[in-house]
Amino acid sequence: MDTQTPRPKQPAHTWKPNRCDKGLRSQEMTSLILEVCSSLIGWIALYTMLCCLNGHRGYEWNCRLVTLFHGVLVVCVTAYIGYVDGPWPFTHPGTENKPLQVTALVLSLGYFIFDMCWCVHFGTEGAVMLAHHTLSMLGMVLTLWLGESGIEGCAVLFGSEITNPLLQARWFLRRLGRYDGPLGDAVDLLFVALFVAMRIVLGGYMLYCELASSRPLPVVKAGGVAMYALSWVFMVDIGRFAYRKARAKHRRWQERPQLANGHDGKGH
């Protein structure tokens, strides 16, 4: 007599949810769209308030204040995400989005939409910067729609925006007439050093980890390659700027003794 308990009959086919099915849930997408719209309205409201309170400075001055505030805010939030909230982006790419990651991406997406519209309206930026904004927005939309790879998106935001306050500081110093001096040189030097370290060196390592991992989707990897290639386009421009500035500094340094001798000679 067979006393074994009969095994339960297995279904012929077991359905497993696709990761991309997360992007098809209309309720979640509606909620995200409303959050992005709220973020956009918030940035527009901040810009409008600055224009009302600080109108004599001009539109670009106030827009750059908004850009500076966004840069500082998103660097602080994404630094907390990467170093405290986790996971570590270099070892856990392609993981499911966490609420704080979604918040950071929504905040930045609303800002980038605002800034893109502002730049197009006033015609202040060239094709490279507009391409950067477009790729950034597409990357954030894709990450939010998929519901994953938010940690890589936050890491890219951190590396991209950490140099932004220095870029804005340079512009404000030029407008205030305080750029030509030790303070302007220090801002430029720190900007170039941070750009190389964060966007080129760590950005390259982040891209390697992304490509080596099997978790991120191919479209996310392709976006990472595009963003890193764009960083190199910026790097070429920054390298040319650094070379021209260093050459001009060296020329002025060589002319100083001659000017001093000429001044002394006229004094006698």
- Bridge partner list, 148: 96
Please state, in angstroms and rounded to a whole number, the distance separating the CA atoms of residues 88 and 101: 12
Residues 191-212, mean pLDDT to the nearest whole number:
94
pTM to 2 decimal places: 0.82
Query: Contacts by 68-71 with C-beta closer than 8 Å and gap 24+?
Result: 68/164, 68/165, 68/168, 68/169, 70/43, 70/107, 70/108, 70/111, 70/161, 70/164, 71/161, 71/162, 71/164, 71/165, 71/168
Which two three-digit tokens encode residue 97? Answer: 């989005």
| Greater model confidence, 218 or 14 | 218
- Tell me the C-alpha distance between 64 and 203, whole Å: 25
What residues contact residue 235 under an 8 Å CB cut-off, 6+ apart?
A: 195, 196, 199, 200
Residues in the chain: 268
pLDDT, averaged across the chain = 85
Tokens of 236: 């070429």
Is the pLDDT at 262 greater than 90? The verdict is: no
Lowest mean pLDDT among 21-25, 40-44, 70-74: 21-25
Structure tokens at 22: 């997360």
- Taking only the tens place, the pLDDT of each residue in 225-242 is 999 999 999 999 888 988
User: Alpha helix locations (H) across the chain?
Assistant: 26-53, 59-80, 99-122, 127-146, 150-161, 164-176, 182-194, 203-212, 218-267
Query: 3-class SS at 58?
Result: coil
pLDDT mean over 133-147: 93
If pLDDT is split at 50, 70 and 90, which confidence band does 107 have? very high
Residue 207: both structure tokens together: 């891209």
Q: What angle, 0 to 180 degrees and rounded to 10, lies between the N-to-C axes of helices 150-161 and 127-146?
A: 150
Residue from 142, 154, 148, 159 nearest 88 by CA = 154
Instruction: Give the confidence band of 251 by pLDDT, cuts at 50, 70, 90.
Output: confident
pLDDT on residue 2: 45
Q: How confident is the model at residue 247 (pLDDT cuts 50, 70, 90)?
A: confident
- The Cα 176–Cα 165 span in angstroms is 16
User: What sign does the CA torsion over 140, 238, 170, 200 have?
Assistant: positive
